[in-house]
Structure 1
């Protein structure tokens, strides 16, 4: 059995940050175990390549949920990164911190130090904003954040102007003084390449002699010595290995795999574990519960002038943008297709924005669950308008199916279980129609393809919502942070309740979903956790 000070399970968004910061002083020996392989992959490195990684058999866990009652018993596709960098290596790269109030609510729920005063400066310190430093944004950190102004498709300007026409103000920086408004998204890229958590944090640290990273290492259980985690067991191919952790085992496997590994190791709801033949080490009913995600409904439009479809559909167009990318690292392949968006209040009386907008200057047919034809969009020009509610009330769960560590867990997101979520998304669908009918954007629309102009009544829009809405892949909350062991899994220092030597550090600890894309908050969690761990261990 190899011995280390810290064993980190998962080289994802938070785990890579942890590995970097825990090895920085040279005092601690750290092992990182990643079930996936290297991120040295063309489709990972090229920003728009996430259309290929979205359903890749070796770069992606490719989970599928249980049938969801609120979606007419449809199963939903849940991509999760299985590669160095985790989901930051396969996501759409949009960098959003969330609202100040999100973190104030975390602290108010019994988690001292997790309010905006405790996390706001971390975002600035970890960021290298290529537009420059100001009172809100940081420069010189490991994570590159790039603005796309000047590179966006011209239809983005029409979208933003249409938002202004319906009362959503223009906003140049969703991570600045206010999140509210419409504008261009900033993305985690540098020099035309994806800036994942692996490239920003892990790879620079891999030059250090006190860090070992093992890929294709599937952790099968946590090894306990009484009520203390002493190490892990993992498998590479047919061989079983063990690693001991003199100080701590840290789970950074994500909102699906972290609770699943806890359950496999005997930590979770006692009746569930016993029914699956797993001996109970620590009964914690909250493990795998409190699952939250952002659900989105898209409206699809046929355009009467060129969109990215016109560039990416014909072979000569793909050849041209491919050559441009290879030679200059610029053009559509260097960007996300989520180029613009925004945040607004579905009701002006609300104290803060509760809805997120997405604008993609291309359209594609989702014929197979999980397939995104970003490089083979529709033949005719088109674009997507989408909306999700920032603070969903519905809660789901992740639960082990059996004691087999290689069997995928049961994922039930339970979308639209709460009526408030349905009503918010219906209000959002109405806003999409208002935006599409405004200003220059209305002039470039030939017709609405989905849900179609005949779908007008609220009941018809609800039926469309239940038939077509899908995840935007912001799973969180399944190892909720809080002071109550009866429902929470980790305390404010991310230590698992009732056990020693064991923490969880990833998006599963979020008590409530932040407003917007969660990759930035997940990396912030890794940085914050390193501060806590180093304070405890020196």
Structure 2
């Protein structure tokens, strides 16, 4: 068994791990090891934004996890893919760039994550980003991550969606990642120069040649090595050969919301009863490991389109070939966008303080596997209730690291989540029925006009919802008895061990998770290195003042 010595060992070269590898190795005196089970991210299907459905559904690039039968979704087993490639899920995701609402991060602090409120997090969002319209109090202009709007909403359906929202009485927002999330406006994506702007491309590629950074791919982390209550290294295997690496300072788990709690449990850190049942020797009883699991669900609202202007007319081999050729030649056109170019964030009912419903608009009626939903032209809007109260768990099943853990989200367990999706159906239908869509709308495909009552909506949702692929919160940050890490990202009761990825979110934000995961890693890097954190922002946040009595407002 070979052994190696480092200052820091990072497990997982995903959205968080690539950030950490860059920031920790910037000091040449720090010897850093980065371990990743997957391999190269140089595939054209990863680089080309429009090909987003391919890497997510390819075994080579993603762990193809599935949940246990979900009891509140008619016992459906839900697909839960996670990145298994350099860049992790930032190399297989939909590239949607959403930070979350300011109140989401204030909520983190209220849950015990001290120093992680919005004003403390905003400078790290800015540090990570290069926004295509330039920097300001909210946006960064010289960070690694490229953010733009794709093709500037060239298809008229994008703007029709925004106009319909205004006609329905909702506000417009020019930048939902700035002062005002609530409202309808253009959507942002992590694309730079027509290419996916993944954590691997932007954070890892520029520093791979550093002599103090070692990257090992094809490495499956099996457990952390403990001496009493101190972690001293990692045991991993490459092509079946076991190896050990030792860390003088910290081992940092950045294996994601499924991988990080599983590695902790494989190492004997977790709930003692769960570990014992799986045949794992208990090294440290920490009951919150794997608990508090959260995710976003969504479904598609689909309509036929009167005009032949949708992407359904671009799904043939000739059209795909032309799109691909243009992208290969100059990284432009329909190949250079994820096609989610307008969006909205609204509140589901009066008394909800900040948005809990998210929309992604798509000028096509299409499934996630890239196939047409029907013959003809159509459009759809993805909608989900994004502040769920249902909670699940990631639970080790075997001491064998090759055996995937049990994943159970308990989707729609809470009545508030069920009512949130009823609001999604009724509010969305009202928006699409506005006059802005009269020249385009040609009949509802899904859910269908016959889905009207609470019972009909509930039955439709149970069958139609899919994961939005935002699992998180399974190693939550805080100070209560179910917290796994403290506000410095250190595992409670264990020296030399941290977790830095979306698993440490106390609650799931209202939005996609790549942006906040990268932000968390940026901020955690300063904690790990003992640097002063960036000065807190004083930027204002726009809120609906009458939120207790109104569900919508045209002005905020």
The verdict on a shared fold, with TM-score over 0.5 as the criterion, is yes
- The normalised TM-score by structure 2 is 0.93
Normalising by structure 1, report the TM-score: 0.96
Q: What residue number does 1:42 align with?
A: 44
Aligned to 2:251: 249
**Structure 1 residue runs of 4 or more that deviate by more than 4 Å after TM superposition:** none
SS of the equivalent of 2:302 reads strand
2:439 to 434, 440, 443: 443
Aligned pair 1:163/2:172, yes or no? no
Task: Give the alignment partner of residue 233 of structure 2, picking from 225, 231, 234.
Answer: 231
Map Cα deviations across residues 76-117 of structure 1 (whole Å, 9 max, x no partner): 001111000000001111111111111111112222211122
> What residue in structure 1 maps to residue 551 of structure 2?
none
Hey, what does 1:512 align to over in structure 2?
507
Q: Corresponding residue for 1:274?
A: 276
In 2: Cα distance, 1:117 partner to 1:494 partner? 19
Q: Within the alignment, does 1:532 sit opposite 2:507 as a pair?
A: no
What CA distance in whole angstroms lies between the structure 1 residues aligned with 2:531 and 2:338? 39
| Aligned residue in 2 for 1:479 | 475
CA distance in 2, matches of 1:510, 1:175: 19
Partner residue of 1:388 out of 384, 387, 395: 384
Q: 1:119 aligns with which of 118, 121, 124?
A: 121
Trace 1:451-462 onto structure 2 (pairs within 5 A): 451-462=447-458
Task: Report if aligned partners of 2:363, 2:379 keep a CA contact under 8 Å in 1.
Answer: yes
Q: What secondary structure is seen at the aligned counterpart in 2 of 1:299?
A: strand
Kept in 2: contact 1:310–1:317 (CA 8 A):
no
SS of equivalent to 1:401:
coil
Deviations 1:207-237 (A, max 9, x none): 2111011111011111111111111111111
Query: In the alignment, which of 494, 502, 506 is matched to residue 497 of structure 2?
Result: 502
User: Take 2:525 and 2:223, find their aligned partners in 1: how far apart are those partners?
Assistant: 23
Structure 1 position 262 matched with structure 2 position 259: no
Instruction: Show the 5 A alignment for 1:16-165.
Output: 16-148=18-150, 150-165=152-167
- DSSP 3-state at the match of 1:155: helix
What is the total number of aligned residue pairs between the two structures? 531
- Residue number among 487, 494, 498 corresponding to 1:492 in the alignment: 487
Shift of 1:311: 3.7
Q: Does 2:417 correspond to 1:425? A: no
Contact 1:67 1:75 in 2 (8 A): yes
Q: Which runs of 5+ in 1 are unaligned?
A: 366-370
1:151 & 1:103 partners in 2: Cα distance?
A: 30
SS of 1:28's equivalent? Answer: coil
Distance across 2 between alignment mates of 1:267 and 1:349:
40
Contact 1:300 1:385 in 2 (8 A): yes
How far apart are residue 71 of structure 1 and its match? Answer: 0.5
Gaps of at least 5 residues in structure 2 are 534-556
Q: Identify which range, 71-80 or 140-149, moves more after superposition.
A: 140-149
Greater shift, 508-517 or 308-317, is seen at: 308-317
CA shift in 2, pair 1:160/1:151, >3 Å: closer
The alignment partner of 1:98 has SS state of coil
Preserved contact between residue 313 and residue 377 of structure 1 (Cα < 8 Å): no
Q: Deviations over 1:298-337 (max 9, x none)?
A: 2121212124434422222212212221222111111113
Deviation at 1:151, TM superposition (A): 4.7
Q: Distance in 1 between matches of 2:96 and 2:19?
A: 18
Query: In the aligned structure 2, how far is the partner of 1:536 from the partner of 1:185?
Result: 34
**Residues 281-290 or 94-103, more deviating:** 94-103
In structure 2, the partner of 1:284 is 286
Whole-Å separation in 2 of the counterparts to 1:357 and 1:84? 29
Q: Which of 398, 402, 405 is matched with 2:401 structurally? A: 405
- Determine the structure 1 residue equivalent to 2:544: none
Partner of 1:368: none
Contact 2:150 2:191 in 1 (8 A): no
Q: SS state of the match for residue 247, structure 2?
A: strand
The residue aligned with 2:200 is 198
Counterpart secondary structure, 2:60: coil
Q: CA deviation at 1:537?
A: 12
Q: Following TM superposition, by how much is the alpha carbon of 1:358 offset from its aligned partner in structure 2, in angstroms?
A: 1.6
CA deviations 1:260-301 (Å, max 9, x no partner) are: 010011011101101111000101110000001111122121
Question: Take 2:390 and 2:440, find their aligned partners in 1: how far apart are those partners?
Answer: 37
Note the C-alpha offset of 1:425: 1.1
Distance 1:125 1:52 in 2: 30
3-state SS, counterpart of residue 443 of structure 1: coil
Shift of 1:168: 1.8
* Map of 2:543 onto structure 1: none
- Structure 1 CA distance, aligned partners of 2:314 and 2:29? 50
Which residue number in structure 2 is paired with residue 373 of structure 1? 370
| Backbone CA RMSD of aligned residues | 1.6
| SS of residue in 2 equivalent to 1:290 | strand
Instruction: Give the distance between the partners of 1:218 and 1:334, measured in 2 at CA.
Output: 33
Superposed CA offset, 1:428-487 (max 9, x none): 110111111112324312221111111111210111011111110111000010112x21
